[in-house]
Amino acid sequence: QAKSQGGGEFRFFSDSMNKNSAARARLESDLRRAVAGDAFTLYYQPKLDLKTNRFSSMEALIRWPRGDGMVSPADFIPLAEETNLIVPLGAWVLRRACRDTMALSERIGWVPGIAINLSARQFRQPGLIDVVRIALEESGIPPEKVELEITEGMVMDDVEAAIDTMQALRDLGVQLAIDDFGTGYSSLSYLKRFPVNTLKLDRAFIRDLPHGVEDTAITEAVIALAKALKLHVVAEGVETRDQLTFLGTRHCGYVQGFLLARPGPLENMPAIFLNDFV
Ligand code: C2E
Ligand code: MG
Ligand code: MG
Ligand code: MG
């Protein structure tokens, strides 16, 4: 019987499972309240244009202040997806990011680009097109300044439907980027058919530059691929001078990473955008 043989172990396992599901239930109810109560904030991470050595755009990264710290999006976006809370949350991000960008433009005298991450479920929502249209209209942002980031995994389960959605978004005038490029199912034949503007090379390939033989080859190949397909290329997760130098000599168009700037609140952006990166 279970009680005599390893019953203690079973109980331990069961307790920890209960604890986890209690923690999850609490996270879920907090998340629900946070979505209803507008308790989120957006951080922004600037992107450097290597041709001009100036920051030209930024990526919106959601933050949830909870207790003493910030809950990482890696910890609540999946839950927001499962519970469908991503729909109102994603709409909030789109509207807020566009509005913030126009507020920043007042401070710096020009409109920077804004990259906004979409999640899988948000991308499949039929209402997405209207949400994007509303965010554009109410903020007055020039649509071509907005770049929506999707991942390979989001498009591969129904490629035809995904292409339709991508085209409908492009018809609104916004740009599209493939985020974390190289980590999903990279089908080069599909890439040709996707109406995207930008590839964001995943930081996994940047980490071992300039010495890693494979990462060097992959990075050079993706830069060449992007050039051949007339796409922009952004290197994510640039943390060292050596990485930056490597990417510069290989003519990577744009870089983003802690070396250039960590994600921060909107208030930090004017000073960054008004200066060259040195
Ligand atoms: P992502 O879109 O690939 O964003 C890049 C992540 O790498 C961010 O983490 C950023 O803070 C981090 N990062 C940037 N530069 C460096 C670097 O030099 N070194 C290292 N180690 N990390 C760097 P974050 O903000 O925690 O976001 C994680 C992921 O959560 C994002 O990955 C994105 O997939 C998702 N996410 C963030 N905000 C949103 C959002 O508003 N909506 C949706 N759907 N997803 C979001
Ligand atoms: Mg991203
Ligand atoms: Mg990424
Ligand atoms: Mg990522």
The predicted pLDDT at position 274 comes to 93
User: Could you tell me the two tokens for 132?
Assistant: 């994007």
Whether the pLDDT of residue 186 is over 70: the answer is no
CA pair distance 125, 154, nearest whole angstrom: 12
**Residue 182: CB within 6 Å of ligand 1?**
no
Whether ipTM tops 0.90, in short, is yes
**Residue 61: CB within 6 Å of ligand 1?**
yes
Please give the DSSP secondary-structure letter assigned to residue 184: S
- The closest residue, in CA terms, to atom 4 on ligand 1 is 61
- The closest residue, in CA terms, to atom 11 on ligand 1 is 263
Name the pLDDT band for 66 (thresholds 50, 70, 90): confident
The predicted pLDDT at position 4 comes to 41
**Residue 258: CB within 6 Å of ligand 1?**
yes
Mean pLDDT of the chain: 91
Average pLDDT over residues 89-103: 97
Sort strands 54-66 and 113-117 into parallel, antiparallel or unpaired: parallel
> Is the distance from CB of 56 to CB of 49 less than 8 angstroms?
yes
- The closest residue, in CA terms, to atom 12 on ligand 1 is 237
**Angle between helices 128-139 and 86-108 in degrees, nearest 10:** 20
Tell me the per-residue pLDDT of 220-262, one tens digit each, with 9 for 90 and over.
Answer: 999 999 999 999 999 999 999 999 999 999 999 999 999 999 9
pTM of the model: 0.92
Average pLDDT over residues 31-35: 90
The predicted pLDDT at position 59 comes to 98
> Is the distance from CB of 38 to CB of 242 less than 8 angstroms?
no
Please give the DSSP secondary-structure letter assigned to residue 205: G
3 state SS of 232: strand
The predicted pLDDT at position 123 comes to 96
CA pair distance 183, 194, nearest whole angstrom: 17
CA pair distance 26, 33, nearest whole angstrom: 11
Burial of 19 (0-12, 13-18, 19+ CB in 10 A): exposed
The predicted pLDDT at position 278 comes to 79
Which residues, by Cβ under 5 Å, contact ligand 4, an ion? 180
Phi/psi of residue 249, each to 5°?
A: -70, -25
- The closest residue, in CA terms, to atom 15 on ligand 1 is 257
What is the 11 CA–ligand 4 centroid distance (Å)?
37
What is the 150 CA–ligand 1 centroid distance (Å)?
12
Name the pLDDT band for 276 (thresholds 50, 70, 90): confident
The predicted pLDDT at position 23 comes to 84
Distances (CA, A) of 27 to 41, 61, 83, 227, 247: 17, 20, 11, 44, 40
The predicted pLDDT at position 224 comes to 96
What is the 46 CA–ligand 1 centroid distance (Å)?
12
**Residue 257: CB within 6 Å of ligand 1?**
yes
The predicted pLDDT at position 259 comes to 97
Instruction: Please identify, by atom number, the ligand 1 atom nearest to the C-alpha of residue 93.
Output: 41
The predicted pLDDT at position 38 comes to 83
